[in-house]
């Protein structure tokens, strides 16, 4: 393994979900604030989100389509910057008071 590959292997071992347990959220049940436009084949940007969303909200379904589960979203806006304009996703803030609640920030 080259150094780079080792780095990548170490990275995939990180469990983002475990990190999210440290945080507090008020989930607006049944009203996700981000939705992915239905598609057959995901764009490169959508695919990138499955790796770079810091909360690991994006994943690939069996058929290859990209899906989102926005409960752990930290509202950073990265996916909005990458995929908002193209229409791949629709992004809104959660309703006032909902979403992530930082204690320290």
Interacting residue ranges for another protein, rule: CB under 8 A: 3-4, 7, 10-12, 14, 16, 19-20, 22-23, 26, 45, 48, 51-52, 54-56, 74-78, 80-82, 84-85, 92-97, 99-105
Please, which residues have CB within 8 angstroms of residue 90's CB and are 6 or more apart in sequence? 34, 35, 37, 84
CB 11 within 8 A of CB 3: no
What is the binding site for ligand SF4 (CB under 6 A)?
Answer: 34, 53-55, 57, 70, 73-79
Q: Which is nearer to another protein, 23 or 41 (CB)?
A: 23
Q: Please name which of 73, 76, 90, 79 lies closest in space to residue 35, comparing C-alpha atoms.
A: 90
Picked from another protein, ligand SF4, none, the partner binding residue 1 (CB below 5 to 8 A depending on kind) is: none
């Amino acid at each position: 393994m080259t150094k780079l590959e080792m780095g990548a292997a170490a990275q995939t071992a990180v469990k983002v979900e475990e990190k999210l347990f440290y945080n507090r959220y008020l989930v607006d049940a049944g009203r996700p604030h981000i939705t992915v436009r239905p598609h057959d084949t995901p764009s490169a940007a959508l695919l990138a989100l499955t790796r770079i969303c810091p909360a690991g909200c994006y994943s690939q379904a069996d058929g290859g389509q990209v899906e989102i589960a926005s409960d752990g979203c930290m509202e950073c806006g990265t996916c909005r910057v990458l995929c908002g304009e193209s229409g791949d996703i629709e992004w809104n803030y959660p309703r006032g008071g909902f979403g992530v609640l930082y204690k320290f920030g």
